[in-house]
Structure 1
């Protein structure tokens, strides 16, 4: 993901939390806020409660890779904030991708196949 596809500023996170809709399963919470930008943006949040730095960075890598693989299918005109829960620390990449796809389908950000 390039820099235009990342959400970094606290004000942007707060705007998405207030105005966006949330969807969740046991591993992830996803906030979605539709806008009129040409491509989607992603913000990641993994708490220290989830694990040490190695674990948190691994989870963030898995989420970024999932969005890279799904970039053609995901709604382009939206901002996403993904919050990882503690159960996400126990997943490998394929389980993590499957769980994230599940939440995005609930959010109607991915087409159902």
Structure 2
């Protein structure tokens, strides 16, 4: 994913945490903050409580792929941070995908059919 679509600095993450809104479900927490950049940026924060680096990177890679496949269905002008919970280690790719889509729906970040048509 291109650098313009990613949250990169610690300051960018802190802005979303402090000024953003949070949504959660059984597997994930999502922080959302409106931006005026013209595109949606995403970041992933995975704590060491979840497991060793191999486990954390596996979860992060799965989340990045799910986001990439659904990128065109997500509304513009938002900063997003996905934080997986401990039980994410034990779930399948499909379950993680449905959890991510569910949390995006909770935050009203998925485009309707009429939004994309035009």
- TM-score tier, shorter chain, comes to over 0.9
Mapped to 2, the partners of 1:35 and 1:86 lie a distance apart of: 29
DSSP 3-state at the match of 2:71: coil
Q: Unpaired runs of 5+ in structure 1?
A: none
Name the residue aligned to 1:106: 106
Q: Unpaired runs of 5+ in structure 2?
A: 114-118
Distance 1:25 1:75, change over 3 A: same
**TM-score, normalized by length of structure 2?**
0.90
User: Are 1:20 and 2:12 counterparts?
Assistant: no
Name the residue aligned to 2:5: 5
Aligned length: 113
Give a deviation string over 1:34-61, Cα, whole Å, max 9, x none. Answer: 1122221111101111111111001111
Mapped to 2, the partners of 1:85 and 1:95 lie a distance apart of: 13
Name the residue aligned to 2:30: 30
Q: What RMSD, in angstroms, separates the aligned Cα atoms of the two structures?
A: 1.3
Mapped to 2, the partners of 1:37 and 1:62 lie a distance apart of: 26
Distance 1:55 1:112, change over 3 A: farther
Mapped to 2, the partners of 1:35 and 1:108 lie a distance apart of: 15
Give a deviation string over 1:9-53, Cα, whole Å, max 9, x none. Answer: 111111001111000011110001111222211111011111111
- Compute the displacement of 1:66 (Å): 1.0
Mapped to 1, the partners of 2:52 and 2:28 lie a distance apart of: 18
DSSP 3-state at the match of 1:72: helix
